[in-house]
A and B are shown apart, each in its own frame.
Chain A
Amino acid sequence: MQIFTCPFCGPRSETEFHFVGDFPKPRPDGMAKVSAEMWSDYLHNQNNPKGAASELWMHMACHEIFRMDRHTVTHEVTGSYALSSEAQS
Chain B
Amino acid sequence: MMKKYSALTLFKEGLNNQKGWVPAWRTARPKSRYDVVVIGGGGHGLATAYYLAKNHGITNVALIEKGWIGGGNTGRNTSIVRSNYFYPESAQLYDLALRLYEGLSKDLNYNIMLSQRGMLHLAHSPAEMEIAARTVNAMQINGIDAELCDVEKVRSLVPDYNFSPNARYPVYGGVLQPRGGNARHDAVAWGYARAADNLGVDIIQNCEVQGFIIENGVCHGVKTSLGDIRADRTGMAVAGHSSVLGAMAGFRLPINSYALQACVSEPVKPSLDCVILSPATGTYVSQSDKGEMIIGGGLDRISSYGQRGNLPMLETVIAGLMEMFPSYRQLKLMRQWAGIVDVVPDSSPIIGESPLPGLFLNCGWGTGGFKAIPAGGTLLAHLLATGKHHDISRPFDLDRFTRGRMIDEGGASGIAH
A interface list, Cβ under 8 A from B: 1-2, 13-15, 17-19, 36-37, 40-41, 43-51, 55, 72-75
B253 close to A48 (CB less than 8 A)? yes
Given known A14-B310, A49-B243, contact A40–B402 (CB-CB < 8 A) = yes
A74 close to B306 (CB less than 8 A)? yes
Interchain nearest-CB distance for B406 vs A (Å): 10
Q: Which of B253, B305, B312, B402 contacts A37 (CB 8 A)?
A: B402
B254 close to A46 (CB less than 8 A)? yes
Interface of B is mostly: mixed
Interchain nearest-CB distance for A89 vs B (Å): 23
- Interface band, chain B: 20 to 34
* From A18, A49, A51, residue with most partner B Cβ within 10 Å: A49
Bound Cα distance A1, B310 (Å): 7
Q: Which residue of A lies closest to B307 (CB)?
A: A73
Bound Cα distance A73, B308 (Å): 10
Bound Cα distance A29, B257 (Å): 28
Bound Cα distance A48, B258 (Å): 10
A46 close to B243 (CB less than 8 A)? yes
B402 close to A45 (CB less than 8 A)? no
B401 close to A14 (CB less than 8 A)? no
Given known A1-B311, A2-B310, A37-B402, contact A48–B302 (CB-CB < 8 A) = no
Bound Cα distance A63, B256 (Å): 22
Determine the chain A residues whose CB is within 8 A of the CB of B301 once the complex forms: 14-15, 17-19
B243 close to A47 (CB less than 8 A)? yes
Determine the chain A residues whose CB is within 8 A of the CB of B304 once the complex forms: 72-73, 75
Interchain nearest-CB distance for A30 vs B (Å): 19
Q: Which of B302, B305, B311, B403 contacts A50 (CB 8 A)?
A: B305
Given known A15-B301, A19-B301, contact A44–B306 (CB-CB < 8 A) = no
Within 302-335 of B, Cβ neighbours of A (below 8 Å) are at 302-306, 310-312
* From A1, A36, A48, A74, residue with most partner B Cβ within 10 Å: A48
Given known A36-B402, A40-B402, contact A45–B302 (CB-CB < 8 A) = no
22 A-B residue contacts at CB 8 Å? A1-B310, A1-B311, A14-B310, A14-B312, A15-B312, A17-B301, A19-B302, A36-B403, A44-B254, A46-B253, A46-B255, A48-B243, A48-B252, A50-B241, A50-B257, A51-B305, A55-B303, A72-B257, A72-B303, A72-B304, A73-B304, A74-B306
Determine the chain B residues whose CB is within 8 A of the CB of A50 once the complex forms: 241, 243-244, 257, 305
Interchain nearest-CB distance for B72 vs A (Å): 14
Given known A40-B402, A72-B304, A74-B306, contact A48–B255 (CB-CB < 8 A) = yes
Given known A73-B305, A75-B306, contact A46–B256 (CB-CB < 8 A) = yes
B302 close to A44 (CB less than 8 A)? no
A47 close to B252 (CB less than 8 A)? yes
Q: 7 tightest CB-CB pairs across the interface, nearest first? A: A44-B254, A48-B243, A45-B252, A40-B402, A50-B305, A73-B305, A44-B401
Within 250-268 of B, Cβ neighbours of A (below 8 Å) are at 252-257
B254 close to A14 (CB less than 8 A)? no
Bound Cα distance A72, B306 (Å): 7
Interchain nearest-CB distance for A31 vs B (Å): 16
Interchain nearest-CB distance for A15 vs B (Å): 5
